[in-house]
Amino acid sequence: MNLFDILGPVMVGPSSSHTAGAVRIGLMARALLGQEPARARLLLHGSFASTGEGHGTCQALIAGLLGLFPDDSRVPDSFTLARKRGLEFTFGTCVLRDVHPNSVLICLEGAQGGTLEVGASSPGGGRIQVFRVDGLSTSFTGELPTLVVHNSDQPGCVSQVTGVLAGHGMNVATLQLNRGGRGESAVMVLECDQPIPDEVAQEVRALPGILRVTRYTPEQEVAV
Amino acid sequence: MIDFTSIQQMLESADASHLPLWDAIRRSDCQRQGIGPEESWQRMSAMLAAMTQADEGYRESDRSHSGLVGGDGGKMARYGRSGATLCGPFLTDVMAGALRMGECNACMKRIVAAPTAGACGVLPAVLLPYRRHFGAPESALVEALYVASGFGMVIAARSSISGAEGGCQAEIGSAAAMAAAALVHLQGGTAEQMADACAMAIKNLLGLVCDPVGGLVEVPCVKRNVIGAMDALSAAQMALAGIASKVPPDQVLDAMREVGQSLPPSLRETGKGGLAATPFGMQYAPKES
């Protein structure tokens, strides 16, 4: 927590959890897809489902998917912008187990093919927590630069990825690895203290056993 | 030590570094974030600019999603222009500012969460009219924002700034406490007086429940920004008069945490109790999914 978590964020109202956090969830999903989304199916859970409409949660989620930040005045009009940019979307509701009431599951298809499923919550203050990526459990917040690596469950993946980061002088703050089952696909989440340059992501992508690499950079709250 | 977990520790740290409280708060945050004091100052100035811009962007004709909120800031300003108000020009300006910002938030306009979106009207409602009526320079207002956010951080660490966790006392009460400390700074009070103002503002709203109609940040949230701003002014004035909080400030924060934990979930932002559960409120209750 820092001073600008208390005084800030600058955001479009009315709710840091139901609006600003929802924009951030959309931004996170967009970043993890790694390309312009063309189709989205969003399933709202709990309080997102029951009070989302009055809080502009749906507009906020779509705004994030389009790459708008929580302080962008166009957030309330994101549906119009989505039509202009060719993003098709549908909303529904769902009931998830053991997650925060402010949660959503997003299934995305990219303009260049490729799909992604992300589950995330917005527990308050505009903070978010990703709890699922492509069916695998995880837990990260996007407060630090984050590298998300889809890999085959085979020996050496972690050491190679961390090796690349070390080679660029980058410090890993947290590391999580979850797999579907032995020998199946896995998702590795590395939160770093430094921004992750594109060349690092590409170097990781070129490693054996790596299926997809995406990264999330926390946005600057206010341009100064 | 860069994270303040008590008001006492925050004040002692400022004392030890021979810095004014606002600068001690800034410098500890710079250390935490790995940024320089100039960059920090620019970011804080940007917050003040964003608040000012949000206030100027108010439109009386805007309505919230439910239609429950909008237009009251305009009514209060018109009443103020009549020149025959009950509370006088400064307080009327404060109230109008709180209503304007609360309404901007409810109408999906750009605001500064302080500390939350629902309570975003309190700080600007005292700071912006203060600038107009007392002629304070911008730098003093930025310093005051450091003071406000320093106290806000301790409140968040030691108690809560979330309505879902601690009820409205944690949102409007915290905002009022931050604004009270900021006002004491602007009036040249001591750090101890800022702490007393913070404590008294919270004490006076202790137990305030979070009972939004329809679960939306509209009713009673917008008008509670007015009471938050008035609470801040009265607490600051008491502190500046030399009136101290009998209960030490940190113990007040602990009491707020304990009261928040004792509140039933129906009175913590779920929209299921209090005003939300009145026959009027029930008309806006969300459909169960």
How far is the alpha carbon of B78 from chain A, nearest alpha carbon, in Å? 25
pLDDT score at A125: 80
Please answer yes or no on whether B216 and A9 come within 8 Å at the CB atom.
no
Please answer yes or no on whether B47 and A53 come within 8 Å at the CB atom.
no
Give the start-to-end residue ranges of the domains of chain A. Answer: 3-133, 146-223
pLDDT digits (tens, 9 = 90+) for A10-35: 999 999 989 999 999 999 999 999 99
> For chain B, how long is the longest CA-to-CA vector?
57
pLDDT band at B42 (very low <50, low <70, confident <90, very high): very high
pLDDT band at B1 (very low <50, low <70, confident <90, very high): very low
pLDDT digits (tens, 9 = 90+) for B179-192: 999 999 999 999 99
Mutate to test the interface with A, among B2, B29, B47 (most CBs of A within 10 A): B47
Please answer yes or no on whether A7 and B117 come within 8 Å at the CB atom.
no
Q: Domain span at residue B186?
A: 10-276
What does the alpha-carbon distance between residue B270 and residue B138 come to, in Å, rounded to a whole number? 39
Cis preceding linkage at B137, omega within 30: no
pLDDT digits (tens, 9 = 90+) for B54-78: 999 999 999 998 999 999 999 999 9
pLDDT, mean of residues A105-110:
98
Percentage of residues in chain A with pLDDT exceeding 90?
Answer: 85
pLDDT score at B288: 61
pLDDT score at B3: 77
pLDDT score at B2: 60
Q: Is residue B151 part of a domain?
A: yes
Mutate to test the interface with A, among B43, B64, B104 (most CBs of A within 10 A): B43
pLDDT band at B211 (very low <50, low <70, confident <90, very high): very high
Please answer yes or no on whether B145 and A12 come within 8 Å at the CB atom.
no
Which of B3 and A152 is assigned the larger pLDDT? Answer: A152
Q: Does residue A224 register a pLDDT over 60?
A: no
CB B127 within 8 A of CB B182: yes
- Put simply, whether B181 touches A (Cβ < 8 Å) is no
Domain count, chain B: 1
Cβ-based contacts under 8 A for chains A and B? 148
Pick the CATH number of A3-133 from 3.40.50.970, 2.30.110.10, 3.30.1330.90, 3.60.15.10: 3.30.1330.90
In terms of CA atoms, which chain B residue is nearest residue A60?
A: B108
pLDDT score at A103: 96
- Based on DSSP, count helices (H) and strands (E) in chain A, helices before strands: 7, 11
Q: Does residue B289 register a pLDDT over 90?
A: no
pTM as predicted: 0.91
Mean pLDDT of chain B: 96
How is residue B161 written in tokens? 């700034």
Residue A164 sits at the vertex; the CA angle it makes with A161 and A169, to the nearest 5 degrees, is 130
CATH of residue B173: 1.10.4100
Q: Does residue B257 register a pLDDT over 80?
A: yes
Q: Is residue B169 part of a domain?
A: yes
pLDDT score at A123: 87
Closest CA relative to residue B125, chosen from B200, B199, B73: B73
Please answer yes or no on whether B216 and A75 come within 8 Å at the CB atom.
no
pLDDT digits (tens, 9 = 90+) for A68-98: 999 999 999 999 999 999 999 999 999 999 9
Q: Is residue B3 part of a domain?
A: no
Task: Choose among B112, B149, B288: nearest Cβ to A10.
Answer: B112
pLDDT score at A221: 40
Tell me which DSSP letter residue B40 carries: H
Q: Is residue B197 part of a domain?
A: yes
- The 3-state secondary structure of A4-72 reads HHHCCCEEECCCHHHHHHHHHHHHHHHHHHCCCEEEEEEEEEHHHHHHHHHHCHHHHHHHHHCCCCCCC
pLDDT digits (tens, 9 = 90+) for B2-35: 679 999 999 999 999 999 999 999 999 999 888 9
Q: Taking each helix axis from N to C terminus, what angle separates A57-65 and A46-55, rounded to the nearest 10 degrees? A: 90
Mutate to test the interface with B, among A7, A121, A127 (most CBs of B within 10 A): A7
Which ipTM score applies to this complex? 0.95
In terms of CA atoms, which chain B residue is nearest residue A16?
A: B117
Homologous superfamily (CATH) for A146-223: ACT domain (3.30.70.260)
Q: Which of residues 193-232 of B touch A (CB under 8 A)?
A: 214-218
How far is the alpha carbon of A12 from chain B, nearest alpha carbon, in Å? 4
What does the alpha-carbon distance between residue A214 and residue A208 come to, in Å, rounded to a whole number? 16
Task: Choose among B64, B108, B118: nearest Cβ to A75.
Answer: B108
pLDDT score at A223: 35
Q: Which of residues 58-87 of B touch A (CB under 8 A)?
A: 64-66
Q: Is residue B289 part of a domain?
A: no
